Amino acid sequence: MKTPNFGPFHIRKWYLQVEDTLANESGVAADGEPVRKIVIAAAVHNPYAGRFEPDLSGFIEPSPALGAEFGRRIREAAAGAAIHSYGKACLVGVDGEYEHGNALLTNPAANPVREAVGGGKSWVPSTGKRGGPGTPIDIPLAHKDALYVRSHYDTVTATFNDAPNRDELLVIWAFATRGRLHARLGGLRASEIKGQDGLV
């Protein structure tokens, strides 16, 4: 029996991954500040593992508290740096459904994260899958205020050596402090964002 230790959730472990890229793949030094990518994840017990549950509101309704904790942790990990892009993912243990992980990534959980990074007008790119401990997952990134900013389309890969267990799921958020180094595909620049509709 997993005793709740974070509101109604039982969280076994928190994860933090930070990477700083100082030069691009060709070895050319950063055009400005390095890219810092931050991944934060929580290994959460899945009470729905091994059975079909038609009503997932027991996960969705308390999820804002989980989002607020992700927000607190990203502010701490960013150490004062502004967050420019974000993404989210779930990795569900093999006794669970993909839907179980998605229940903790909906707007109730995401809105506190948006607030923590200074607002976010664009939808959060998302992905997920089922797997066991050590399964790698690629988390998509896009600008938090305008999806059409090509320079901020990116990905960060994460692995978790001991999660998820069969009856767990990983809730994963990723962030970046700028767009790709030497992005040169044209299109809308971050400095040109109007911030009206989450697209431009």
Q: Which long-range contacts (CB under 8 A, 24 or more apart) does 155-160 make?
A: 156/17, 156/19, 156/37, 156/39, 156/87, 158/15, 158/17, 158/39, 158/41, 159/134, 159/135, 160/15, 160/41, 160/43, 160/91, 160/133, 160/134, 160/135
Residue 193 has a pLDDT of 87
Share of the chain above pLDDT 90, in %: 92
- Whether residue 196 is predicted with pLDDT greater than 90 in this model: the reply is no
Residue 142 has a pLDDT of 97
What end-to-end distance do the CA atoms of the chain give, in Å? Answer: 48
- Opening angle at CA 143, ends 140 and 149, nearest 5: 105
Q: If we measure between CA atoms, which residue out of 81, 9, 78 comes closest to residue 42?
A: 9
> Global pTM?
0.95
* Residue range 27-47: mean pLDDT, rounded: 97
Please tell me the distance from the alpha carbon of residue 56 to that of residue 54, in angstroms, as a whole number: 6
Across all residues in the chain, what is the average pLDDT?
A: 96
What tens digit of pLDDT does each residue of 168-189 get?
999 999 999 999 999 999 998 8
- Whether residue 71 is predicted with pLDDT greater than 90 in this model: the reply is yes
140 pLDDT band (50/70/90 cuts)? very high
Which residues face 39 on adjacent strands?
Answer: 17, 174
CATH placement of domain 11-192: 3.30.1330.110
- Whether residue 39 is predicted with pLDDT greater than 80 in this model: the reply is yes
Q: Distance from CA of residue 68 to its chain's centroid?
A: 13
Instruction: Report CA Rg, the chain.
Output: 17
Residue 116 has a pLDDT of 96
Residue 194 has a pLDDT of 86
Strands (E), 22-143: 35-45, 85-92, 126-130, 137-143
What tens digit of pLDDT does each residue of 153-170 get?
999 999 999 999 999 999
Please tell me the distance from the alpha carbon of residue 7 to that of residue 10, in angstroms, as a whole number: 8
Classify residue 186 as left (phi > 0), alpha (psi -120 to 50) or beta: left
